[in-house]
């Protein structure tokens, strides 16, 4: 069994592929090897993917020892993305969440060390764009933790955010907005930060790799373009496609929701194409 954990994939040209979480019963039929005990699932997943987005931190903060355990069970080079707690992103006034943000950031996530990737701030679809409130919120986000850079990503889900004013604000702070292929939420192919964060939500059960091969080929090419700092020409933009400077970027591509049972295969198929 231990030979299944020997070699961990490495990011390709700064591109990471992953899934949301690591505990999902159907994955025990098509991702995890038969007989693998549940307590070793993170160990296995982190040696076949290069990133995992943790959803559990959205529902409640974790004690420092949990973050430390996650760090110790994963290989060097692997990273977690953390969804910020819902009691922060769901607040009526984001401008008033400074103390809660500090409590979350300094409440133990530093135990992840080099495994700490971006923090994802996912807003409710009912939250409309309020320039002053969003600007104040962005000012509250700490940019370092224990002397290391702390990266943030916003996932906005109300169409009112699709404005040049919002993009200008994000570029002023050097932060990205999530790109998604979901038709339910607004998407931002516009580059505004030093990373690209894509959440692909259109996997289908009838495809063993979640997406048809040609679509995965296309996502691999877009990921390479993002990594080079280029804006793919076949995506929709709020502003002109060349509005952001061309500079290399780290890229995160997560396969989330939809046909969840297929998402590990999709992430590994994309990794293979890279």
According to the model, what pLDDT value does residue 255 have? 98
Determine the average pLDDT of the residues in 53-78: 96
DSSP 195: E
SS3 label, residue 200: strand
From 231, 152, 219, 142, select the one nearest 188 (Cα to Cα): 231
Beta bridge partners of 237: none
Determine the average pLDDT of the residues in 220-224: 98
SS3 label, residue 84: coil
Name residues whose C-beta falls within 8 Å of residue 126's C-beta, 6 or more positions apart in sequence: 158
According to the model, what pLDDT value does residue 240 have? 74
Q: Over 80: is that where the pLDDT of 241 sits?
A: no
Residues 39-49: tens digit of each pLDDT:
999 999 999 99
DSSP 184: S
Q: Over 60: is that where the pLDDT of 192 sits?
A: yes
Q: Over 70: is that where the pLDDT of 1 sits?
A: no
- What is the C-alpha separation between 62 and 19, in angstroms, rounded? 20
- What is the C-alpha separation between 218 and 193, in angstroms, rounded? 22
According to the model, what pLDDT value does residue 133 have? 98
- At residue 215's C-alpha, the angle toward residues 257 and 152, to 5°, is 50
Continuous segment of H or E residues that includes residue 53 = strand 51-54
Q: Are 198 and 254 in contact (CB under 8 A)?
A: yes
pLDDT band at residue 113 under the 50/70/90 scheme: very high
Q: Are 268 and 134 in contact (CB under 8 A)?
A: no
According to the model, what pLDDT value does residue 8 have? 81
Determine the average pLDDT of the residues in 46-61: 95
Residues 9-22: tens digit of each pLDDT:
889 999 999 999 99
Percentage of the chain lying above the pLDDT 70 cut: 96
Mean of the per-residue pLDDT values of the chain: 94
Domain ranges of the chain: 2-273
According to the model, what pLDDT value does residue 246 have? 78
- What is the C-alpha separation between 252 and 76, in angstroms, rounded? 17
Q: Over 70: is that where the pLDDT of 2 sits?
A: no
Fold of the 2-273 domain: TIM Barrel (3.20.20)
């Amino acid at each position: 069994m231990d030979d299944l954990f020997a070699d961990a994939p490495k990011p390709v040209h700064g591109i990471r592929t992953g899934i949301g979480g690591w505990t999902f019963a159907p994955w025990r039929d098509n991702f995890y090897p038969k007989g693998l005990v549940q307590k070793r699932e993170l160990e296995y997943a982190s040696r076949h993917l290069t990133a995992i987005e943790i959803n559990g931190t959205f529902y409640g903060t974790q004690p420092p020892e949990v973050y430390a355990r996650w760090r110790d069970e994963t290989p060097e080079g692997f990273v977690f993305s953390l969804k910020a707690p819902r009691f922060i992103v769901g607040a009526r006034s984001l401008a008033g969440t400074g103390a809660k943000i500090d409590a979350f950031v300094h409440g133990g996530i530093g135990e992840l060390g080099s495994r700490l990737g971006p923090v994802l701030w996912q807003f409710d679809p009912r939250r409309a764009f309020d320039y002053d409130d969003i600007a104040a919120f962005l000012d509250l986000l700490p940019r370092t933790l224990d002397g290391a850079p702390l990266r943030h990503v916003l996932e906005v889900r109300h169409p009112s955010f699709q404005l040049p004013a919002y993009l200008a604000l994000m570029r002023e702070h050097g932060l990205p907005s999530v790109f998604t292929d979901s038709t339910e939420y607004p998407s931002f192919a516009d580059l505004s930060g030093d990373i690209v964060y894509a959440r692909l939500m259109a996997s289908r059960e009838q495809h063993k790799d979640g997406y048809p091969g040609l679509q995965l080929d296309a996502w691999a090419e877009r990921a390479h373009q993002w990594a080079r700092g280029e804006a793919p020409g076949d995506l929709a933009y709020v502003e002109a496609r060349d509005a952001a400077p061309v500079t290399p970027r780290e890229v995160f591509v997560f396969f989330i929701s939809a046909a969840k049972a297929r998402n590990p295969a999709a992430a590994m198929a994309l990794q293979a194409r890279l």
